[in-house]
Amino acid sequence: MQTVEKWGVFEVSVHGPQDGNPFTERQFGAVFRGKSETVQVDGFYDGEGVYRVRFMPSFEGAYTYETRGNFLEAAGSGEFTVTAPAAGNHGPMRVVNQYHFTYEDGTPYYSVGTTCYAWAHQPEAVRQDTLRELGKGYFNKMRFCVFPKHYIHNFRDPETFPYEGTPVDNSGLNEETYSPAADFSGNDWDFTRFNPEHFRRIERAIRELGDRGIEADIIVMHPYDRWGFSQMTKAQDDLYWNYVIARFAAYRNVWWSLANEYDLMRAKTLEDWERYAAILCAKDPYNHLRSIHNCIAFYDYTRPWITHCSMQRQDLYRHVEYTDEYRTRYGKPVVWDEIAYEGNIDMGWGNISGQELTRRFWEASLRGGYAGHGETFLDPENDILWWSHGGVLHGESPARIRFLHRILEETPGRGLKLGQSSFDETVGVPDCVSFGQDAGYEIHYYGFGRPSFRDFLKPAGEQWRAEVIDTWNMTVEDAGVHAGRFRIALPGREYIAVRLTRVKEESGAQNA
């Protein structure tokens, strides 16, 4: 009897005809039945006469399946057993308490993401460097693209292309000859025939991230293109969407991003995006998280198919500071996937300091949202920048982001929200109490302020433990237990926070 763990991937494959165009002329799928669920999923053609269908079971116990299709070999049946999930397998991601995330087994999740747009398309040595960096535990989500990327620092052809055909000759293309108005005329693609090897590389990336506890935020479409993938017809787009969903949906760590910077894809209309979303909602039986990412104009995140806001800053100076406002406006989790990158390139979106990126992470987190990292340090020798290729990290922010994640994991409840704050601080409190109530837990963050002390006033009879958090030097210093009005001495430097936790009366108190 075959077995698969709960929230694992169970796959059935058959050999069938190769004649004609199997991608468009053959249909293959299956129905999976267990005591607690019946799920119908589409299969896909994986080349060389192989047809596959994948399933992610949500319950333990006995299952049966029936495969179906429009060719003789498609008909089949079988049974398998779903076992308990292995350690580290917490299931797919869900929204919890309206503004936060949890794994399906109830384990809290605090998103600290990064962006490596084209890492799945890089040579193996670069990919292995990326995986070694990810193994250090800095991030638990990565954004990356299915299609290759054409943009500054991204002029090399990818290792594979998604379709059969011949790409335009890019010899001589460099930073000086680059134009955002790409000429697609030299490409010769058959948009009805996928290159399975390209999609196997994406699947491998999804699995490698999952093995490291990292969510795969898959960017299905984007505008940075010289090959014509952003200019496909409706029928070609829909074929692509169905293929991507059939191949990737059974992996538990998948998030769907309909597009990176959708508003730069001039060939697509609002009706197109809503049609893609309808396909996704109809064909993904596991209800993975779904969003769409802007360049300038936010999408309407109140749309019912969107599970969370995937945002890029709209203003040079103020962005994460709007987190609490956008939570209220859209009523969903706010994820700042692009708030500028630590680096030194000439573009303003790619040359902020590690201190500033870390500050933005803290501001977003304490206001009840989540932030994303990126790194764009010039590499004159190899032109490998983390934000696109992966490779080796050079910045100072990743370790500080990992430290913040540790602090977030110590939060009571499921996440933070903006508490009552003075004009010169940001206060985060647990997002599990009504307005005006006291949660007994507060983080006061001073950002670029440099106070040498702070005074606090708590109700009579309450005792509070104070800790001084140096968010840059990554230290937590016990500052004692206090009651009433008390003063906490601070080091008079930037990026300091004070964490206050109400303690039991018998702990003893010392008034400052």
Predicted confidence at residue 380, as pLDDT, reads 86
Residue with tokens 């000086």: 176
Q: How far apart are CA 366 and CA 187, in angstroms?
A: 48
Nearest of 166, 141, 151 to residue 118 by alpha carbon = 151
Please check the confidence at residue 464 and state whether its pLDDT lies above 70: yes
CB-based contacts of 219, cutoff 8 Å, min separation 6: 117, 143, 144, 145, 146, 257, 259, 260, 293
Predicted confidence at residue 506, as pLDDT, reads 47
Tokens of 464: 């509070």
Specify the DSSP class assigned to residue 441.
E
Asked if 106 and 413 count as a contact pair (C-beta separation under 8 A), the reply is no
CA-angle at 295, arms to 384 and 188, nearest 5°: 65
Please check the confidence at residue 170 and state whether its pLDDT lies above 90: no
Predicted confidence at residue 185, as pLDDT, reads 74
Tokens of 376: 């764009």
Q: Residues 205-254: pLDDT tens digits?
A: 999 999 999 999 999 999 999 999 999 999 999 999 999 999 999 999 99
Q: Give phi and psi for 498, each to the nearest 5.
A: -120, 125
Q: Residues 325-341: pLDDT tens digits?
A: 999 999 999 999 999 99
What average pLDDT does the segment 444-459 reach? 97
Predicted confidence at residue 511, as pLDDT, reads 47
Region of residue 244 (left: phi > 0; alpha: psi -120 to 50; beta: else): alpha
Across 134-143, 162-171, 260-269, least confident range? 162-171
Tokens of 26: 């053959």
CB-based contacts of 87, cutoff 8 Å, min separation 6: none
